[in-house]
Amino acid sequence: MKKPKIKLLEAVALTEDLPARKLRAGEVGTVVELLRGDVYEVEFCNERGETYAELALGEDQIVPLHTRGRALAAVLVRASGR
């Protein structure tokens, strides 16, 4: 099954922990820039709207939260390759 294309300003979730950036799998961010075909600048904000992380991530590190009717857990498992 082809993975849906991630779009600008789309909400995404991390599929892996990034300890160096103090980010954990499941954290939700917003795509703020399309860098290349498979690389996206993603911004992570707290509940006050303050950015606490912004970094380039590959499409294998994130999953769009719009799951087109599929359960999010199934999408995350598929994205992790398990």
CATH number at residue 24: 2.30.30
The answer as to whether 1 is a domain residue is no
Q: For the chain, how many structural domains are there in total?
A: 1
pTM: 0.77
- Tell me whether residue 71 is in a domain: yes
Q: How far apart are CA 32 and CA 55, in angstroms?
A: 10
* Nearest-angstrom CA–CA distance, 34 and 1: 23
User: Is 4 part of a structural domain of the chain?
Assistant: no
Q: What's CA 65's distance to the chain center, in Å?
A: 8
59 belongs to a structural domain: yes
Q: Identify whether 3 is part of a domain.
A: no
Show Cβ contacts of residue 11 under 8 Å, excluding neighbours closer than 6 positions.
28, 29, 30, 64, 65, 66
Does residue 6 lie in a domain region?
no
Tens digit of each residue's pLDDT, the chain (82 residues):
456 688 899 999 999 999 999 999 999 999 999 998 899 999 999 999 999 999 999 999 999 987 565 555 665 666 666 5
Range of the domain at 16: 11-80
